[in-house]
Amino acid sequence: METQPYEPRFAARTQRIQASTIREILKLTQSPGFISFAGGLPAADLFPLERIAEATQHILRDQGAQALQYSTTEGYPPLRAWVAQRLPRTAPEQVQIVSGSQQGLDLIGKVLIDPGARVLVEAPTYLGALSAFNPYEPEYVSLPIDEEGLEPGALEAALQAGAARFLYVMPTFQNPSGRLMGLKRRQALVELARKYRVLIVEDDAYAELYFSGRPLPTLYALDQELGGGNVIYLSTASKTLAPGLRVAWVVGPGPVIQKITHAKQGADLHSPTLNQMLVYELVKEEAWYQGQIQRIRTTYQARCAWMLEALQRHMPKEVGWHTPQGGMFFWLTAPEGLDSLELLRRAVEEKTAFVPGQPFFADGSGKNTLRLSYSSASHEEIEEGIKRLGRAMKRMLVV
């Protein structure tokens, strides 16, 4: 249908809600024989189907009316209590259950961003966060990252240059770059937030997915040690149980959470009660839940190692990458001048795909970068897919 007659009727903010070229290209990857590393999909072979079937039956039998009735916007109380109890000095009232952390990001944008307000983001940052914030018309300030993620000196310089509504940051296995921020930087970030009175939005979607070692404290936990009040924390059941459940949580200072609750009321009244109850049924059995997370870690660690071997074997020497210690992604940097959108077109001809890096940069840089996801691929697919990508890459580098 022609879109022309409708264009003048769209709200001005839709200027910043655009379909992407990449989505169009990636539609082709559904065809048979394709090996795609594009989607950031958690491994479906690790969804706890039987456990979910059992728990659903159990909930419907014992609490069916409650599970299917309207409920409170704040979320299912036992799930809120479970989230609160795993975080330092946090009351259940500080927890808002949301329909995916994606909704959390949208609601944060709704309550914190005025048109033209400065929002600090990493370069690169999570593409979905930019899509969530864009309709609220922020002015982004992109902060560079290095091997250890966001560099505190760059943050301080940006804060000295002018006030910002918040810093959006992923300290643990950043999407897309896979970076893990060390303890010193975490402490520095929290100290800067306190000094400049700027809120930090900490997106901790990949927190549980480390391959070895012990998790580092979250920015939220470090801020709590100093008295709290500066960090809004997001995490999700999407990467440990199943993303289709759409259950996640936002935690933060009481007044901010209250505003988010009021905004959520207008958005969807509440997140699906049955799904919240289901997540609670699963996570409350700590031993089972830890076993589930361990299965995911072991599987992703193996898939990551296969991808590393394949990259070493098939990538031209001009291409560099960051080897992750957890999470779901490899982040590649090709020589300056190589356009990864053009590379995607060639890769699609070879029947493989990835996500070009540029859309992850609020400032439009990063043309020569790309993201590969290893979470859902088999050993054979990784070997063959990376071989194809290597071929496409070499074709681009010789011309």
Q: How far is the CB of 334 from ligand PMP (least distance, A)?
A: 23
Q: Which of residues 27-66 bind ligand PMP (CB under 6 A)?
A: 40
Could you say whether residue 128 binds ligand PMP (CB under 6 A)? yes
Question: What end-to-end distance do the CA atoms of the chain give, in Å?
Answer: 40
Write down the residue that tokens 């593409």 correspond to: 127
375 touching ligand PMP, by CB under 6 A: no
CB atoms within 10 A of CB 128: 18
Which of these segments, 53-61, 99-107, 219-227, 334-342, binds ligand PMP (CB under 6 A)?
99-107
Binders in 347-366 for ligand PMP, by CB under 6 A:
none
Q: Which residues contact 27 (CB under 8 A, 6 or more apart)?
A: none
In the complex, minimum distance from the CB of residue 198 to ligand PMP, in angstroms, rounded to a whole number: 20
Shortest CB 128 distance to ligand PMP, Å? 6
Question: Among candidates 309, 307, 312, which has minimal Cα distance to 377?
Answer: 307
Please count the other Cβ atoms lying within 10 Å of the Cβ belonging to residue 263: 18
Tell me if 326 contacts ligand PMP by CB under 6 A.
Answer: no
Residues 220-259 that bind ligand PMP (CB under 6 A): 236, 238, 243, 248
Please report how close the Cβ of residue 243 comes to ligand PMP at its closest, in angstroms.
5
Of 48, 75, 100, 359, which one interacts with ligand PMP (CB under 6 A)? Answer: 100
| 137-162: burial string, b at 16+ Cβ within 10 Å, e else | bbebbbbebeeebbbbebbbebbeee
Which CB atom, from 175 or from 292, has the smaller least distance to ligand PMP?
175
35-36 and 352-353: which strand pairing? parallel
Spell out, one character per residue from 166 to 185, where the chain touches ligand PMP: x when CB under 6 A holds, - when not: ----x----x----------
Binding to ligand PMP by residue 324, rule CB under 6 A? Answer: no
Tell me the closest approach of the beta carbon of residue 126 to ligand PMP, in angstroms: 4
Query: Minimum distance from CB of 350 to ligand PMP (Å)?
Result: 26
Compute the least distance from the CB of residue 233 to ligand PMP, in Å.
12
For ligand PMP, the closer CB: 355 or 389: 355
Are residues 336 and 368 in contact, defined by beta-carbon separation less than 8 angstroms?
yes
**Of 105, 127, 146, 125, the residue nearest 39 (C-alpha):** 127
Instruction: State the minimum distance, in angstroms, from the CB of residue 393 to ligand PMP.
Output: 25
Of all residues in the shown chain, the one whose CB is closest to ligand PMP is 100
Listed in sequence order, the residues at least 6 apart from 362 whose beta carbon sits closer than 8 Å to its beta carbon are 121, 123, 125, 130, 140, 142
Q: Report the DSSP pairing between strands 355-356 and 369-373.
A: antiparallel
Binding part of the chain for ligand PMP, among 97-105, 209-217, 303-311, 354-362 by CB under 6 A, reads: 97-105
The answer to the question of residue 261 lying near ligand PMP (CB under 6 A) is no
Is residue 272 a contact partner of residue 248, using CB atoms and an 8 Å limit? Answer: no
Q: Which is nearer to ligand PMP, 40 or 135 (CB)?
A: 40
Does residue 283 interact with ligand PMP by CB under 6 A? no
Work out whether 109 is an interface residue with ligand PMP (CB under 6 A): no
Greatest alpha-carbon pair distance for the chain in Å reads 66
Task: Confirm if 210 and 297 have CB atoms less than 8 A apart.
Answer: yes
Residue 70 φ/ψ region, left for φ over 0, alpha for ψ in the -120 to 50 degree band, beta for the rest? beta
Smallest distance from ligand PMP to CB 102, Å? 3
Question: Cβ 236 to ligand PMP, closest distance in Å?
Answer: 3
For 361, phi then psi, to 5°, come to -105, 120
Nearest residue (CB) to ligand PMP, 172 versus 315: 172
Give ∠ CA 138-218-180 in degrees, rounded to 5. Answer: 80
Spatial separation of the C-alpha atoms in residues 293 and 207, rounded to whole Å: 11
Only segment of 12-20, 84-92, 95-103, 161-169 that touches ligand PMP (CB under 6 A) = 95-103
Task: Using CB under 6 A, list all residues that contact ligand PMP.
Answer: 40, 100-102, 126, 128, 170, 175, 203, 205, 236, 238, 243, 248
